[in-house]
Amino acid sequence: MKPLLGQRIVEVATYVAAPSGGLALARLGADVIRIDPLGGASDHHRWPLAPGGGSLYWTGLNKGKRSVALDLRSPRGQELVTALVTGRGTLLDNTVGWGWLADERLRELRPDLVHVRVQGRADGGPALDYTVNAAVGVPDLTGPAEFSGPVNHQLPAWDLLTGSQAATAVLAGLLHRASTGEGSYAEIALSDVALGAVADLGWLGEARLSGQDRPKQGNHIYGSFGTSFRTADGVHVIVVAMTRRQWRALQEATGTTEALSRVGERAGLDLDVEENRYLLRNELVAVLAPWFAERDVDAVTGAFADTSVLWQRYRSLTEVAADGGHLLEEVHQPGIGPVVTARGAVRWPADPPDSVAPAPVLGADTEAVLSEELGLGQAEIAKLVDEGVIR
Amino acid sequence: MKPLLGQRIVEVATYVAAPSGGLALARLGADVIRIDPLGGASDHHRWPLAPGGGSLYWTGLNKGKRSVALDLRSPRGQELVTALVTGRGTLLDNTVGWGWLADERLRELRPDLVHVRVQGRADGGPALDYTVNAAVGVPDLTGPAEFSGPVNHQLPAWDLLTGSQAATAVLAGLLHRASTGEGSYAEIALSDVALGAVADLGWLGEARLSGQDRPKQGNHIYGSFGTSFRTADGVHVIVVAMTRRQWRALQEATGTTEALSRVGERAGLDLDVEENRYLLRNELVAVLAPWFAERDVDAVTGAFADTSVLWQRYRSLTEVAADGGHLLEEVHQPGIGPVVTARGAVRWPADPPDSVAPAPVLGADTEAVLSEELGLGQAEIAKLVDEGVIR
């Protein structure tokens, strides 16, 4: 199933956020052309790299797109990109200060253009996942309780969320155009996505109303019961008891029902109420931790099998990569070789899963796109090569 | 600007993921009706809470929706929800095992239904943000280098990303229906979103090709230069030098150009190349850290003003909440009072910003919706109240 079949999108973007939005659209069936400068943009060789030097990052984020590379500093290159954008009518970009790609200029040529621009800050200033994360207070909450400094997340969560929200904005613009005939220009800043998320979760409301910051709480889940335990063989597992059913299953499977009920009685709190399990989390851990510490992970796995205990072994990336699963697939990535990568997470159970397309080699589609979309003939393309506008 | 004006969506969902998707659609102008059981679902009183006990979490994630509450166990309640879903033709849910809300049943009544279901695992099994995070290896990478255990993120990043991708899937389904007349049923699992993201970033490819796990690296940014420093007055800041321009600006502003170039010379590595700054990160920090340690944050701020240094002070949530900014707004939240919350991050510069709508009181729109959408008269509504189907 390709719900976006027939949607034709131009992406002029770098790094994670906007390209991950273009990736989402490509996976849903849109025809996405990514535009790059000759030789690639600043993200073209980004880590992680394959042993041969190809970027697993760039190829991971640009799967299933077509690649056009041009001299973006030359008037002719800019003219060609402008023609592609106005011809296709849909642009996702994250450019800053490129006058020739300004929305007002493009809109004169294509009034119903759907254009979404990803920014660092809403004022056009620079920001990255790591700086906006610091700005919205998350590193302050993250990490071991005994550690006093900020703990950065390693996952570029804000980049990924911004990219996804940008993809949503593109589709909202396309629906709006389909129903009204009107184009639109939307902006979305990484710093706003982060600020909006901590507001939506109620964290800013809580901070302002209470006047207090939550302390770091290690691996505990705020307001519920969930944390990590270490088994006898040194494996870490997370156990969560959000619902009463999960809570009861955990007590039964670990044989701690009586000991834990005494904890609740001593405190005068009903542990069947989720927030009470959070309030008494340290006491509950004191009862439960020895059970894990006395068993290896196989024994834990056995004890939790066929129960409603919600738990998960922490895995390393090599374990995740080795394990496979229905979403992962090995693609032959030109320039790299076989690489494990993933299908899109959206599935249509009625249809067979789509296979994964690799990323294009930089500029591999330049001539085909200029010919198909702009009607350039062989002589014109040869002239562009001579002039150094394309390679 | 409300690009989704006229789109009518039913949300039957709980917790963060699916409701945050519904929130995104509501912010873009869709008319979203959230369905809850009488008294609220298991997320209705979730933390964080306002001092009076109202959930800042629930109200944060359900802003701008309408709320319908019914006895979802009664045949009559299920019949009414079915009629709302098939009447509106678009459903976002995260139910598990509710036979009466199975897609095949709904689709018999409304063949062109656009239906997106958010799941924990693709096999229908349970999973939460915290368990899928453990499963995909992120806590293994996160946290201080000297800390040996897994470090959970506190931000429910996978929930938020899944919700956003679900919103994208809903809009893709609506575009597909607009162009073909066909409905669709899509599923998206939290565990797949997480696995897909670490694959897209190239992390799984790297792990499989190298056979090795990256060690924890504290606050460093993998493959680039960026980390946290502590000022003389105990404030933490993050400084990033991804581009050559940022790198040069940092050296100039801190007066470390010569000392840092000696670090590069000794190692035989050109520090103008981004990955070399990552390789020599500890040596670079050794040179830079004293500069921060000798200055208070005001002096650092002064030294970096009007430069290209990319940096950010780490803030606590109370600081973030106090600071405001263009995205934040105080709404009068029924049942709670004034609460700081956020507009959507997507902006249309040509239009004035939309003001933020508060969340509904649970069930506040039940009678109006049943009357407007299903044509129920006063007598029928009174009968539903008598029967305990609605309140």
Q: Cα(B229)–Cα(B218) distance, rounded to whole angstroms? A: 12
Same domain, B125 and B27: yes
Contact A131 B51 (CB under 8 A): no
pLDDT at B383 over 80: yes
Q: Which residues of B touch A316 (CB under 8 A)?
A: 137, 140, 207, 213
Is residue B66 assigned to a domain? yes
How would you classify the pairing of strands B31-37 and B8-12? parallel
Contact B162 A345 (CB under 8 A): yes
CA distance B283 to chain A (A): 20
E-strand ranges in B264-313 read 310-313
Is residue B212 assigned to a domain? no
Residue A290 structure tokens: 């020895």
Is residue B214 assigned to a domain? no
Contact A60 B200 (CB under 8 A): yes
Residue A378 structure tokens: 């062989």
The DSSP element (H or E) to which A229 belongs, if any, is: strand A225-230
Provide the domain limits for residue B239.
225-313
Contact B342 A199 (CB under 8 A): yes
CA distance B380 to chain A (A): 35
Is residue A51 assigned to a domain? yes
Chain A residue with CA closest to B243: the answer is A42
Is residue B220 assigned to a domain? no
Q: Identify which of B24, B61, B131 has the shortest CB distance to residue A165.
A: B24
Contact at 8 Å (CB) between A345 and B204?
no
Same domain, B249 and B369: no
Contact at 8 Å (CB) between A203 and B34?
no
Edge-to-edge order in the sheet of strand A225-230: A225-230, A236-241, A310-313
- pLDDT tens for B274-320 read 999 999 999 999 999 999 999 999 999 999 999 999 999 999 999 99
Q: Which residues of A touch B48 (CB under 8 A)?
A: 201-203, 205-206, 222-223
Q: Cα(B66)–Cα(B32) distance, rounded to whole angstroms? A: 6
Chain A residue with CA closest to B175: the answer is A175
Q: What are phi and psi of A12, to 5 degrees?
A: -120, 95
pLDDT confidence band for A67 (50 / 70 / 90): very high
Largest Cα separation within chain B, whole Å, is: 87
Catalytic choice (A31, A36, A159, A365)? A159
Contact A155 B139 (CB under 8 A): no
Chain B residue with CA closest to A158: the answer is B157
Q: Tell me, what's the pLDDT at B268?
A: 98
Is residue A231 assigned to a domain? yes
Contact A24 B168 (CB under 8 A): yes
Q: Tell me, what's the pLDDT at B257?
A: 97
Q: Tell me, what's the pLDDT at B329?
A: 94
- pLDDT tens for A233-247 read 999 999 999 999 999
- pLDDT tens for A255-300 read 999 999 999 999 999 999 999 999 999 999 999 999 999 999 999 9
* pLDDT more than 90, % of chain A: 97
CATH code for the domain in which residue A285 is found: 3.30.1540
Q: Identify which of A63, A197, A321 has the shortest CB distance to residue B207.
A: A321
pLDDT at A227 over 90: yes
Chain B residue with CA closest to A217: the answer is B154
Number of domains in chain A: 2
Q: What are phi and psi of A218, to 5 degrees?
A: 60, -135
Query: Closest Cα to residue A133, out of A122, A120, A146?
Result: A120
Q: Tell me, what's the pLDDT at B133?
A: 98
B contact test, residue of A56, A107, A198, A279 with most B CBs within 10 A: A56
A159 catalytic? Reply is yes
- pLDDT tens for B164-200 read 999 999 999 999 999 999 999 999 999 999 999 999 9
Q: Tell me, what's the pLDDT at B354?
A: 83
Buried b (16+ CB within 10 A) or exposed e, A80-116: bbbbbbbebbbbbbbbeeeeebebeebbeebeebbbb
- pLDDT tens for B41-82 read 999 999 999 999 999 999 999 999 999 999 999 999 999 999
Same domain, A13 and A118: yes
Among A289, A313, A337, give the residue marking a domain's end. A313
Average pLDDT value for chain A: 97
Q: Identify which of A168, A240, A328 has the shortest CB distance to residue B167.
A: A168
pLDDT at A307 over 90: yes
Same domain, B66 and B153: yes
Q: Tell me, what's the pLDDT at A355?
A: 86
CA distance A260 to chain B (A): 23
> Left, alpha or beta for A145 (phi > 0: left; psi -120 to 50: alpha)?
alpha
Buried b (16+ CB within 10 A) or exposed e, B4-38: beebebbbbbbbbbbbbbbbbbbbbbbbbbbbbbb
Q: Which residues of B touch A4 (CB under 8 A)?
A: 172, 175-176
- pLDDT tens for B190-229 read 999 999 999 999 999 999 999 999 999 999 999 999 999 9
Among A313, A335, A361, give the residue marking a domain's end. A313
CA distance B381 to chain A (A): 33
CA distance B262 to chain A (A): 25
Residues contacting B339, CB < 8 A, separation 6+:
A205, A208, A209, B50, B56, B59, B330, B331, B332, B333, B358
Q: Identify which of A60, A150, A168 has the shortest CB distance to residue B168.
A: A168
Residue B14 structure tokens: 């709980």
Same domain, A298 and A173: no
Contact B157 A154 (CB under 8 A): no
Q: Give the Å distances, CA to CA, from A337 to A51, A54, A56, B73.
A: 10, 10, 11, 54
Contact at 8 Å (CB) between B269 and B206?
no
pLDDT at A19 over 90: yes
Q: Give the Å distances, CA to CA, from A28 to A114, A167, A390, B175, B329.
A: 18, 11, 29, 11, 35
Question: Which one-letter amino acid corresponds to residue B254?
Answer: T
Same domain, B193 and B66: yes
CA distance B122 to chain A (A): 9
Same domain, A250 and A301: yes
Q: What are phi and psi of B331, to 5 degrees?
A: -110, 155
What residues of B are labeled active site? 159
Q: Tell me, what's the pLDDT at A324?
A: 77
As a residue count, chain B comes to 391
Among B262, B281, B313, give the residue marking a domain's end. B313
Residue B384 structure tokens: 């539903």
Is residue A343 assigned to a domain? yes
Q: Tell me, what's the pLDDT at B355?
A: 86
Residues contacting B302, CB < 8 A, separation 6+:
none
Same domain, B177 and B234: no
Contact B314 A139 (CB under 8 A): yes
- pLDDT tens for A80-118 read 999 999 999 999 999 999 999 999 999 999 999 999 999
CATH code for the domain in which residue A332 is found: 3.40.50.10540
Is residue A120 assigned to a domain? yes
Same domain, B360 and B271: no
- The whole-model pTM stands at 0.98
Q: Cα(A350)–Cα(A368) distance, rounded to whole angstroms? A: 34
Same domain, B172 and B239: no
Same domain, A261 and A338: no
Contact B345 A196 (CB under 8 A): yes
A contact test, residue of B204, B238, B245 with most A CBs within 10 A: B204
pLDDT at A339 over 90: yes
pLDDT at A360 over 90: yes
CA distance A349 to chain B (A): 7
Q: Cα(B191)–Cα(B127) distance, rounded to whole angstroms? A: 7
Chain A residue with CA closest to B177: the answer is A3
Q: Which residues of A touch B42 (CB under 8 A)?
A: 242-243
- Residue A139 preceded by cis peptide, ω within 30: no
Contact at 8 Å (CB) between B369 and A221?
no
pLDDT at A375 over 80: yes
Average pLDDT value for chain B: 97
Q: What is the DSSP letter of A55?
A: B
Contact at 8 Å (CB) between B185 and B170?
no
- pLDDT tens for B84-123 read 999 999 999 999 999 999 999 999 999 999 999 999 999 9
Contact B28 A150 (CB under 8 A): no
Same domain, B104 and B252: no
